[in-house]
Amino acid sequence: MIDQINALLPQTQCGQCGFHGCRPYAEAIASGSADINQCPPGGDEGILDLANLLGVAPKPLNTKFGQHKPKSVAFIIEEDCIGCTKCIAACPVDAILGAAKFMHTVIASECTGCELCVAPCPVDCIIMTPLPAGQLPAKTQKSAQARRRYEARCLRKEKEKTEKAERAKKKKEALLKMKSANVSNA
Ligand code: SF4
Ligand code: SF4
Ligand code: SF4
Q: Tell me: the pLDDT tens digits for 15-58? A: 999 999 999 999 999 999 999 999 999 999 999 999 999 999 99
Q: What angle do CA 36, 146, 52 make, to 5 degrees?
A: 30
- Per-residue pLDDT tens over the stretch 56-107: 999 999 999 999 998 899 999 999 999 999 999 999 999 999 999 999 999 9
Residues with CB under 6 A from ligand 1: 9-10, 12-17, 19, 21-22, 25, 39-42
The residue nearest atom 2 of ligand 1, judged by CA position, is 39
Residues with CB under 6 A from ligand 3: 76, 81-87, 98, 104, 120-121, 123, 125-126
Phi/psi for 68 (5° steps) reads -75, 130
Answering whether pTM is above 0.85, one says no
**In a mutational test of the pocket of ligand 3, which residue from 77, 104, 128 has the highest number of ligand atoms less than 8 Å from its CB?**
104
Spell out where 43-130 has E strands: 72-76, 96-97, 105-106, 126-130
- 129 and 81 Cβ atoms separated by less than 8 Å: no
Handedness of CA 94, 21, 140, 73 (dihedral sign): negative
What the chain holds in terms of domains, given with CATH numbers, is 2-65 (1.10.15.40), 72-135 (3.30.70.20)
